[in-house]
Chains A and B, each alone.
Chain A
Amino acid sequence: MKRDPALGGETVEALEARSPFRFPREMVIGLLVLAVAWQILSLFVPPFIVPGWERIFGSLVTLRMDFVLITLARVVMALVMSFVLGLGFAVLMYGSTRIERYGRPIVRLLMAVPVVCWILFAVLWFRWVEFRIAFVLVVVCAPVFLVDILDAMRGVSKDLRDMLRSFRPTQAQLFTKLVLPATLPVMLTSWKINLSLAIRVVTIAELVGAVTGIGYGLVVAQELFSVSEVFAWTLILVALLFAAEAVLTHVEERLLRWRV
Chain B
Amino acid sequence: MRGAGPIEVTGLRKVFHQTGTGEAVVAIERLDFVVQQGEMVAIVGQTGCGKSTFLNILIGLDRPTDGRVAVGGRAPYDDFDHFRGVLAAVFQQDRLLPWRTAVDNVRLPLELLGRDPGEQLARARAWLDRLGLGRFERAYPHELSGGMRQRVALARAFAVEPALLLADEAFGHLDEVTAAALRQTFVELARTEGNTAILVTHQLEEAIDMGGRILVFGRPGRLLADINLRTWPAASVASLRADIQRMLQDNAADPRFARAAEEQA
Give the B-binding residues of A (Cβ under 8 A).
Answer: 4, 6-8, 10-15, 159-160, 162-170, 173, 177-178, 181-182, 184, 256-260
Contacts and interface: CB of A to CB of B under 8 A. Distances in A.
Interface of B: 56, 59-61, 80-81, 83-85, 87-89, 91, 93, 95, 97-101, 108-109, 111-113, 132, 135-136, 138-145, 147-148, 160, 177-178, 181
B98 A163 contact: no
A160 B145 contact: no
B111 A15 contact: no
Contact of B83 (A6, A168, A177): A168
A16 to B, nearest CB: 10
Contacts of B147: 10
Contacts of A167: 84, 88, 108-109, 112-113, 160
Contacts, number: 87
Contact of B148 (A10, A165, A182): A10
Contacts of A11: 145
Contact of A177 (B112, B142, B143, B160): B112
A163 B143 contact: no
B118 to A, nearest CB: 19
Given A15-B138, A163-B89, A10 B145 contact: yes
A258 B148 contact: no
Nearest to A181: B99
Given A166-B87, A168-B81, A173-B112, A12 B136 contact: yes
A12 B139 contact: yes
A183 to B, nearest CB: 11
Nearest to A11: B145
B168 to A, nearest CB: 10
Given A10-B148, A160-B97, A165 B61 contact: yes
Contacts of A13: 142-143
